[in-house]
Structure 1
């Protein structure tokens, strides 16, 4: 019956040729019946078609993501406005997209801290991706404000400390928990709010647009120079990935 399907498909295609005689209504009905009979007797054809479509969609998605990754290297890894942890002269950099209201990000953060300690040549670049509500945006903006108000290397330290404080909150944030986190870090909330300017908002908007171009739809997401990893990734997996790339960089 699969042969009948092929015959039927051919019959449908042939009229598209300028030299072929169009099918009349009776012939068209016969083709429909052949297709219907074939599909009823061979329902696995549907599964084959669906699987093939999924495979093609995945290939297209991967190709688009690889292309976006290739053209976004500078924005990902060479933006001097981004806070970071680890080496200033790294052999490997990883971009981390996270949200303070993301439960899996709260698990990912300690893993990244451990990796920075384990690999002196590693740099983790933090790109806040506030997609889980207004409090995500508020906390991300205040973290970047803390970075901007502190000069030099201390800026990264201040950002990372406040970021860690936000991540330590077990539930979703609200204005009260955000204010409490800022106070715990010994920072002035009013001063931070005043420092949230157009540049900081633009930086967060740029992070969101960059994530969209890369096909990142949730947090956490980790971006290597050659690969994008979505979702929480455990320490052993990341160590294997980092070790391979550092060995290649030797």
Structure 2
């Protein structure tokens, strides 16, 4: 079987480099039928060949996706890690920086959030940059815009507001969003007036950036060389951080 495949490969390669005037004439209908029957019988007798081919194709597709993602990360490094107006927690000059995309209506984000708090305490050389990614409806967008408006005038309030919004079980409505801001001494109606084109553009840019990185939902965390899509438990995330600190 291997000899047959090698022969076919050699014939194919030879035909590709042989001058056209020396190449054999195209196969006629009978010859084409014989080739089809040979290929069919070969696959029927050796079905593992097809499985191997599919596995190899999938492997190449995954590698191509990974290469494209790494290229995207490299070209968007400044957008991810070198902005001056994104909220963050942890060490501002930390050795390891991680971008966190989240939605305040996302149940998995609420679970992820407590793990990130743990990571900041456990690793003093970690910086976490927040990127609002409202993908779960109108109230997701409302909460994202309001918290960015609050951050613009009260940057020290962001962390408290973020945790307050994340601490509510289930999804938000406008009333629960307003209540979260009120609990921290801020008026949601007044903040809504401060939601300008800069804030809307910032949210749109976050959505575009996530899409370009292949992020399809929340939570998602991004290191300089890797994208973690979906919920990541404490042990897994701890290993990711430790490996980059060493």
Question: Structure 2 regions of 5+ residues with no counterpart?
Answer: none
User: What residue in structure 2 maps to residue 186 of structure 1?
Assistant: 185
Partner of residue 227, structure 2: 228
Q: After superposition, give the CA deviation of every residue in 1:155-199 in whole Å (9 maximum; x if it has no partner).
A: 1x3122122121112112222322232222221111111111111
Task: Give the structure-2-normalised TM-score.
Answer: 0.89
> 2:108 aligned with 1:109, yes or no?
no
Hey, what does 1:128 align to over in structure 2? 132
Q: Residues 133, 31 of structure 1: CA spacing in aligned structure 2 closer, same or farther, 3 A cutoff? A: same
How far residue 218 of structure 1 moved from its aligned partner, in angstroms, is 2.0
Cα deviation for residue 243 of structure 1 reads 2.7
Q: Is the Cα–Cα contact under 8 Å of residues 102 and 109 in structure 2 kept in the other structure?
A: yes
For residue 98 of structure 1, report the CA deviation from its aligned partner. Answer: 1.1
Cα 1:29–1:11 shift into 2, 3 Å: farther
User: What is the CA deviation profile of residues 81-121 of structure 1, one whole-angstrom value per residue up to 9, with x for unaligned ones?
Assistant: 10001122222211111111222111111111122122222
Within 2, Cα distance between the matches of 1:96 and 1:33? 55
Displacement of 1:246 in angstroms is 2.5
Residue of structure 2 in register with 1:204 after alignment = 203
SS of the residue 1:195 aligns to: coil
Aligned twin of 1:87: 91
Contact 1:141 1:196 in 2 (8 A): yes
Deviation (angstroms), 1:235? 2.0
Aligned residue for 2:32?
Answer: 28
Contact 2:178 2:187 in 1 (8 A): no
Equivalent residues, number: 242
5+ residue gaps, structure 1, are none
Distance 1:135 1:6 in 2: 61
> What CA distance in whole angstroms lies between the structure 2 residues aligned with 1:220 and 1:21?
59
Match of 2:193, SS? helix
Q: Which residue of 2 aligns with 1:161?
A: 160
**Mapped partners of 1:38, 1:229: distance in 2:** 42
Residue 137 (structure 1) aligns with: 141
Q: Is 1:77 the counterpart of 2:81 in the alignment?
A: yes
Q: How far is the alpha carbon of 1:5 from its aligned partner?
A: 6.0
State the Cα RMSD in Å.
2.2
Runs (4+) of structure 1 exceeding 4 A deviation are 1-17
Partner of residue 170, structure 1:
169
